[in-house]
Each structure stands twice: as structure tokens, then as C-alpha cells.
Amino acid sequence: MHEPPDRQTEYRQTEYREPEYRRPGDSISNTRIALLALGLLVLVVGLFAGAGVLVRQTDTSAQPVAVRATPTPAEVIPSRNPRREPDLDVGTPVEQGVFVQIARGWTKQTYDHLGIRVTSFERGAEARFYVVTNPVTSLPLLRPDVDAFAETQDLRDVRYGRAVPVPPPNLNVVEAARISFTGRRTEDDLVYSFAGECLRLRGAPTVNDVSVSICFAAYVQDLDTVRAEVRQMTGTVAKSI
């Protein structure tokens, strides 16, 4: 008779494997890890790509660009006597850098170290332009200017107008004043009436520290025409101060 096999022996011969059990959260955790790894990879790739763009932009901006050079203006050094307006030295020199442009119909007669004398014979007119290198206030000197000029013209019975300040003709002149006068001259028992003016211009001390004395006289009937011509010449004097 056969004896039934030993069950314990049968159990040992047959391998028994327990079934594997996974917790429900294990698959979800693995999925999250995979997604995080993928996101990290994308981030790293993006950073390298961005760095490449920045490098390309930096390289582009660093390339030399042609720029037209702007010349540097020359340094202007102020002169010792800075002018406020242009210096127009045109015409006949008077003295100390002062010039006069003699009007048509006038003739230069004499010249000395102080100035010049010009005449217009047809109208009995004469004008003198003198430069004074020690300028003082103009108004008090106008009557002495008339006296000195009248003596050179042999004028008698001189009558003075009122000495008044007038606007300077330009910015290089800081002071101007004028006086009018009348007088008479006797020639060959004939008496002639004259009228005229004296004007003083004082240059700016920082430009040309001089005074210019301008006196003229003419027949009374020609006064307006002569005055206009002398004032024209005076304008050229003022521009040269």
C-alpha cells in the first residue's frame, strides 16, 4: 500500500509567492516625479536658449557703429578789451583806433596828433574830429569845446544851446552828449550867420577808453543838410571806437 505523501514535504516543494501589493499613492508619486523631471529639463533648456539670445544681442550691440565725428569748437579766449559790437575801422584814421568815413562833398584839410579837419566850401561848412585819451564826463566839456571851435572859425557873439545827454549810438559807447550854438563871422565888411553843434562820445572803458569830440558849423541856411552829413560821419566814428 502506498502511503500518502507527506503534506509538509509537498508544501516545501511548491514555492509559494505572496502577491505584491502597491499602495495607491505610489503610482501618483512616480508620475509627479516624472513630471517634475520633465519640467526641470524644459527649464534648463529654456535657460540655455535665453542665454544664447542674450549673448547674440550683446554681440550685436557691441559691434562698432559708424558715427560722424563732430568737430570740437575752438576755444575762444576773451580779449583784454572785449567788444560789445563789431569794430568797423573804415575810412580815414583819426587817432587811437578811431576812424571816420568822410562824406561825399567834404575834403580833408589838416591832420595832427589829435584828429582831422574836413570842409565843404560850398556851404561854408567845417567839421573837426578830435580824440581825447583822458576821457571825463562829457556834459561839462561841451561849452569849452564850442569856445575852442568858435575861435578856430573866427566866430563872434557865440550863443550856446543847452547841453543835453543823447542816446549812445551803439554798445561800444557808454556816454554821449550834444550842444548847439550860433555865431557870426565878418568877412570883407559882410556879416555871415553860422550855426552848428558839438558832440562828445565816450568809449566803454573795457573797449576803447577814449572820448571823441566832434564840432561843426555851417551857414544857417545849409544847417540841416550839413548836420545830416556830419551825423553820418559821426556814425562811422562811433562804430570804430
If you search the block for the grid coordinates 508620475, which residue do you land on? Answer: 31
**22 pLDDT above the threshold of 90:** no
Secondary structure of residue 81 in the 3-state scheme: coil
Average pLDDT, the chain: 78
The string of pLDDT tens digits covering residues 173-222 is 999 999 999 999 999 999 999 999 999 999 988 888 899 999 999 999 99
Cα torsion 88, 89, 92, 98 to 10°: value is 100
If you search the block for the grid coordinates 568797423, which residue do you land on? Answer: 88
Of 172, 221, 164, 168, nearest in space to 197 by CA? 164
Instruction: Give the CATH H-level superfamily of domain 92-240.
Output: Mog1/PsbP, alpha/beta/alpha sandwich (3.40.1000.10)
Mean pLDDT of the region 140-158:
96
The string of pLDDT tens digits covering residues 108-120 is 998 777 789 999 9
If you search the block for the grid coordinates 542674450, which residue do you land on? Answer: 54
Residue 41: pLDDT band (50, 70, 90) is low
pLDDT of residue 136: 84
For the chain, domain boundaries: 26-61, 92-240
Of 184, 173, 181, nearest in space to 212 by CA? 173
Of 228, 5, 212, nearest in space to 125 by CA? 228
Dihedral sign of CA atoms 134, 95, 180, 170 in order:
negative
Mean pLDDT of the region 131-141:
89
Q: Which of 11-15, 95-99, 169-173 has the lowest mean pLDDT?
A: 11-15
